[in-house]
Amino acid sequence: MRLKKLFSPRSLGATIATGMLFHATYTALAAGYYYVSAVPLPGNCQAGVKCTSPNNNPPYYWCCQPGSTCVGSAYYDPGLGSYIGWCYQP
């Protein structure tokens, strides 16, 4: 009897709708943000936006794609084993 209730069209529809809502929310929040490698030496960003993180010692630099903005400071990501900087592309 319980399984019948669990898989009823109404219950199944509510479960799917909740999943779709969570997916849409996550996609909206995650869209546009990306990370790139950051280095302690100032370089030349050919066609992109040069970002700097003066909070680090030494300062770290990274390049975002054209039209993007720099987000926050560079930090060491142990999973990648390197420093990264974040960018946002609207």
More confident of the two residues 7 and 19: 7
pLDDT tens for 17-42 read 444 434 444 444 567 999 999 999 98
- List, edge to edge, every strand of the sheet that includes 69-77: 33-37, 82-88, 69-77
Name the band, by pLDDT with cuts 50, 70 and 90, for residue 43: confident
Q: What are the b/e assignments for 19-41, b being 16+ CB within 10 Å?
A: eeeeeeeeeeeeeeeebbebeee
Enumerate the domain spans of the chain.
Answer: 1-31, 32-90
Q: Whole-prediction pTM value? A: 0.63
